[in-house]
Amino acid sequence: MVEANAAPIPDPHPNHNRKPQAPGRTVRPAALGFVFATALMDVIALGIIIPVLPNLIKQMAGESTAEALHYVLIFSTTWAVMQFFASPVIGSLSDRFGRRPVLLVSIFGLGCDYIVMAVAPNLAWLFFGRLVSGITSASIATASAYIADISPPEKRAQNFGVIGAAFGIGLVLGPLVGGLLGGINPRVPFWGAAALALINWCFGLIVLPESLPKNRRSDFSWKKANPIGSLRLLAAHPGLLGMAAVFFLFMMSYQALEQIFVLYTGYRFHWGIRDVGLFLGGTGIAQIMVQTTLVRPVVKKAGERGAMLIGLTCGALAFAFYGLGSTSFLVCCGLPLFALMGLVQPANQALMSRRVPPTEQGRLQGATSGLMSLTALIGPSLYTTVFAWAITDGANLHLPGLGVLVASGFVLLSLALAARYARLPPH
């Protein structure tokens, strides 16, 4: 739906408004549950190794913490690079061969890869495992394309919220489980992640039907299945490139939490690990509540465009609270506003998916996953550099929250673009 005063968003392929499935075939309700489980288990599996991977790298490297950080940066960058290049390839493969086989192969490969990392005898093997993990973890793009296949346009935002909720739950549970398992042995979390992935693969073999009929598939082309080809796709449909820019800037703001929030709150408010853990855990829970309970009524009332504008406005204010708040209490006051950013991604994905035909949904989701990976490449250097400059003795502007305010600026830019591009001109 669109809000009452907005120009209508036409479906570029009105004959495809119905669920794209073969005649007489019904997609089982368990299929949506599997997509949720895929996203949830993938994120939990990734989160499980967050607390232990740096220590395992340090243990294998036999070096100081400073030297270990060098390897951690290499591992993280390699993972993001592989995601960036693999996402459009996997998305295009799902447009050619269907969502089911690509999802199942990716999930099975991820499970086997975690086993490789669990038994890795040295850094080279561990590095190889992270490299492969960057490829197989790109299955989220195919899961998103599956959602677009089985959801009519008016329910896409609600169903994309399912993936957002899975991310939130996974990011809360993953590190918690990883910390507990890592206390037994640093390699145990990798076995746990492998078990989750392989259980999900078995579940998919039983319950997952194909969502993309053969008559709606497209040929695979290396010319299209790369980051440059993805940009061409985004530029080929009216308003799509603008919406992709909204998504990119929105995800760039999230990098502030991942890269500097722990250091920032420790420097300014003397928060310890427990304080930050509770705050980020509360943030994840609040966003889960938004994406599971508020997306549908807000979209029904205000439309996808209205939901995006509300979420982005609240997000910009939340980052301002985080960056300018002089006390821990004021920072915590921004948490409810930040939770409402959970409205943005489901609405954005719904609007973007309505601008391309079913034959290109995989490419689209691969392109957005590639953009997310790009933020993971840019974010670490950008935010750590700004934060370090802002707290350096003798800095022209001693403002510890400057990096967080940069994130607020990204959200404001995203809001301006959303106001312009979150609708298509009428026919």
What domains are defined for the chain? 29-205 (1.20.1250.20), 226-427 (1.20.1250.20)
- Answer yes or no: is pLDDT of 424 > 80: no
Segment 266-283 mean pLDDT: 81
Report d(CA 271, CA 277) in Å as an integer: 10
Report d(CA 420, CA 305) in Å as an integer: 10
Segment 12-30 mean pLDDT: 43
Residue 3 has a pLDDT of 38
Map tokens 């003798």 to a residue.
394
**DSSP-assigned states of every residue in 342-372:** GGHHHHHHHHHHTTS-GGGHHHHHHHHHHHH
- Answer yes or no: is pLDDT of 221 > 70: yes
Residue 8 has a pLDDT of 38
Report d(CA 212, CA 210) in Å as an integer: 6
Segment 345-352 mean pLDDT: 89
% pLDDT > 70, the chain: 87
158-217 pLDDT tens trace? 778 777 777 777 777 777 777 778 778 888 888 988 888 888 888 888 888 888 888 888
Nearest CA to 52 out of 114, 108, 132 is that of 114
Nearest CA to 140 out of 172, 164, 171 is that of 164
Q: Which residues contact 376 (CB under 8 A, 6 or more apart)?
A: 76, 80, 83, 255
Residue 426 has a pLDDT of 46
Segment 60-88 mean pLDDT: 76
Tell me the Ramachandran region of residue 24: left when phi exceeds 0, alpha when psi lies from -120 to 50, beta otherwise: left
Residue 307 has a pLDDT of 94
- Answer yes or no: is pLDDT of 301 > 70: yes
% pLDDT > 90, the chain: 20
Most confident residue range from 8-17, 98-107, 154-163, 166-175: 98-107
How many CA atoms lie less than 13 Å away from 65 in the CB half-sphere?
0
- Answer yes or no: is pLDDT of 255 > 60: yes
Q: Work out the pLDDT band at 22, boundaries 50, 70, 90.
A: very low
Of 275 and 52, the one with more pLDDT: 275
Average pLDDT, the chain: 81
Of 279 and 16, the one with more pLDDT: 279
Nearest CA to 337 out of 317, 320, 322 is that of 317
- Answer yes or no: is pLDDT of 1 > 70: no
Segment 267-294 mean pLDDT: 83
Map tokens 């440059």 to a residue.
228
Residue 245 has a pLDDT of 95
Q: What is the pTM of this model?
A: 0.72
Helix (H) or strand (E) run with residue 63 in it: none
Residue 56 has a pLDDT of 80
305-346 pLDDT tens trace? 999 999 999 999 999 999 999 899 999 999 999 999 999 988
Whether 265 contacts 276, CB under 8 Å? yes
Most confident residue range from 48-62, 181-195, 233-247: 233-247
- Answer yes or no: is pLDDT of 12 > 60: no
Residue 197 has a pLDDT of 85
Structure tokens at 339: 């939770």
Residue 6 has a pLDDT of 38
